[in-house]
Amino acid sequence: MLDQSHLIKTTEEKQRTGPAYLCLHGHFYQPPRDDPFTGQIPIEPAATPYANFNEKITEECYLPNAEAGNFDEINFDLGPTLAAWLEDAHPDVYARIIEADRKHVARYGVGNAMAQAYNHTILPLASTRDKRTQIVWGLSDFERRYGRRATGMWLAETAVDMETLDLLAQYGITYTVLAPWQAASPIDPTELYILPLREGRSITVFFFNAPLSGGVSFDWNTTSNADEFVTGYLPGHLEQSKLAAGEPQLLLIATDGELYGHHKPWRDKFLTHLLRTGAPSYRFEVCTLARYMQMHPATKEVVLRLPSAWSCSHGVARWDTGCECTENDSSWKKELNRALRNLAGRANPLFEQYAGETLRDPWAARDAYLPVRNGWESLESFWAQQGKASIDASLMQRTLLLLEAQYYQQCSFTSCGFFFEELDRIEPRNNIAFARRSISLIWQALGIDLQPAFVSDLQAVKSWRTPGLTGADAYRQLPIARLDQLPPLLPVQLTAQNEEENIA
C-alpha cells in the first residue's frame, strides 16, 4: 500500500494558525591562501583540475548560488578574506552577492548580510586590544563593500565571552548567532533573546536549531529532497502550543555556506527549491534575521555559558591548549599558541615605541589602518587623522612597515590554524607563514630580528602524525622569501640574555 503519511503531515501543517518562519544562514568563509610574500596563491594539487580551492569552491558553490539568486533569500556572512579574493578574481560573482544585500535593504529596510570579525580569530582568546581591532576591521570592511553599517556580526566558531559581546554592542552590533548549548540554561530555539551587557547595553541572540542544522550539514538523506525536508523534518521542530496560540516562531538553520554545492554536490539546487517553492508551498515564510527581529523583537533575557563556542565542548580549548574535540595528541596547539603570543609580546612594544614617534595613538591607528592598506582611503587622509605634525618621510615609511607587520600578526591567529587535528596541515603552516611575514617587516623597519626567538619557541610544537616534525621545521620548509626581507636563519640556540639584546 502506498505510504501517504507525508500527506497527513502536510494536512496537519496547513491547519496550524501560528506563523512559522524559516531562516537559512550561510557562513561563507575561506582563510587567506596567498603566500604573504608574493600575494599569489600557490598551486593546490588537491583542488585539481582547479588551480586552488578558492577557484574550485567558486565553481561549485559561490557561482551557482549567486546565479540562482539564493543569496537574495538567505541570511549570510561573507568573510572579508574571501570577499577580497572574489572581488579581484571573480568580480561578477562578488557583485551578485553584494547586490543581494542591497535588494534586501530596498525591499525590507534591513539587510540580509552580516559582518564578520576580520581574520576569523577566536575572540575570547584575544586580548582586548586585538578583539577591538578584529571587530573594527570587520565592520570597516563590511561598510565599504555593502555601503551601509552592519547591525549583525558572525563570530568565528560562534566563540564568545562577555567582553567580546559588549564590544560588539559598543560598535553598534545589535545581534549575533550562537549554538543552543552556549546558553547557561534551557532555551527555546524558536525564539530570540536579549543578553544584558554592561552599562545598560544589550545584544540580541539568535540560537540556531541544532538537529536541523546538523542534519543539513552531515546527513545526506536530510537534503535529498526539498519538499520532503519541509514536510518531514521542519514541522516536528515547531512548538505546538505556540501554533495554537498564534505566536510567531523561527526555525534557524545555520551551516557553512560551502555546503551548498561544494561539500555536498547539487545541494545548491536543493537550496533553490527549498527557498522558492518548498518552504512557501507549506506555509513557511522564508525570512532573514534582521527582518525577523524587526517584526518580532526579543522579549526574554538569556544567560550564556562563557567562554563557549559551537564546535568545542570544552569552552574554547580546541583553539587554545587543545582538547578531545580533535583526535590524538593536540598539545601542539598550546605550543603554537605560546610561540605566536610570545612573538606578539615581543613585537607589540616595538610597534608602540617606534610607531609612537609618528602616530598620536599607535593602537587607534592600527584600528584605522585597513582602509588605507586596501586603498579605500588616501595616505594623506590617514596621516592627517592619525599622524603627528612634521613627519619625516623615512619615519613615515618605517611606520607603514610596522603597521603592515601588525596586519600579518593578526593573520597569524586565524582560527583555521588550530581547528584541525594536526600540525602538518596547510592551515597551521599558513599561520606560521603569516608570522614570518610579520617578522620580516619588523626586520625591514627596524633592523631588529625576532626570528631566532620565534623559531626557538617553534621547536616545542611537535607533530604526532609526522614523527620528528616540529614547528621550526615547518618554518624552515616555507617557500624562500627575498633575502632583503628576512635576516639569515641561524642555528636556534638563544639564551635569555641574547633574546633581551635582540629586542633592545
204 and 280 inside one domain: yes
Which residues have a Cβ under 8 Å from the Cβ of 13 and sit 6 or more positions away? 231, 235, 282, 283
- Spatial neighbors of 52 by CB under 8 A, at least 6 apart, are 33, 41, 42, 43, 44
Task: Please check whether residue 44 lies inside any domain of the structure.
Answer: yes
pLDDT, tens digit only, all 504 positions of the chain:
334 444 334 444 445 568 999 999 999 999 888 999 999 999 999 999 999 999 999 999 999 999 999 999 999 999 999 999 999 999 999 999 999 999 999 999 999 999 999 999 999 999 999 999 999 999 999 999 999 999 999 999 999 999 999 999 999 999 999 999 999 999 999 999 999 999 999 999 999 999 999 999 999 999 999 999 999 999 999 999 999 999 999 999 999 999 999 999 999 999 999 999 999 999 999 999 999 999 999 999 999 999 999 999 999 999 999 999 999 999 999 999 999 999 999 999 999 999 999 999 999 999 999 999 999 999 999 999 999 988 889 999 999 999 999 999 999 999 999 999 999 999 999 999 999 999 999 999 999 999 999 999 999 999 999 999 999 999 999 987 765 677 777 554 433 333 333 332
- Match 558572525 to its residue by C-alpha cell: 154
Strand 192-196's sheet: what is its strand order?
Answer: 175-178, 202-207, 192-196, 300-301
Q: Is 496 part of any domain?
A: yes
Amino acid in the structure at residue 228? E
Is 308 among the domain residues? no
Q: Are 482 and 354 contained in the same domain?
A: yes
> How big is the chain, counted in residues?
504
- Please tell me whether residues 206 and 269 are part of one structural domain: yes
Looking at the structure, do residues 179 and 324 belong to the same domain, yes or no?
Answer: no
Q: Does residue 83 share a domain with residue 49?
A: yes
Burial 169-198 (b: 16+ CB within 10 A, else e): bebebbbbbbbbebbeeebebbbbbbbebe
For 434, residues 6+ apart whose C-beta sits below 8 A from its C-beta are: 32, 36, 408, 409, 411, 412, 414
Which of 301, 334, 361 represents a domain boundary (last residue)? 301
Answer yes or no: is 185 within a domain: yes
Neighbours of 125 (CB within 10 A): 21
- Tell me, yes or no, whether 307 lies in a domain: no
Among 301, 335, 367, give the residue marking a domain's end.
Answer: 301
Are residues 254 and 166 part of one domain? yes
Q: Is residue 309 part of a domain?
A: no
Distance CA 308, CA 209 (A): 17
Domain count across the chain? 2
**Cα 201 to Cα 129, 134, 187, distances in angstroms:** 20, 20, 21
Say whether both 288 and 382 belong to one domain: no
Q: Which helix (H) or strand (E) holds 25?
A: strand 20-28
Count of Cβ atoms closer than 10 Å to residue 211 Cβ: 15
Residue 180 shares a structural domain with residue 102? yes
306, part of any domain: no
Domain boundaries, position 409: 317-503
Claim to verify: residue 354 and residue 499 sit in the same structural domain = yes
Residues 6 or more apart whose CB falls under 8 angstroms from that of 66 comprise 93, 96, 97, 100
User: Quick one: 187 and 263 in the same domain?
Assistant: yes
Whether residue 374 sits in one domain with residue 251: no
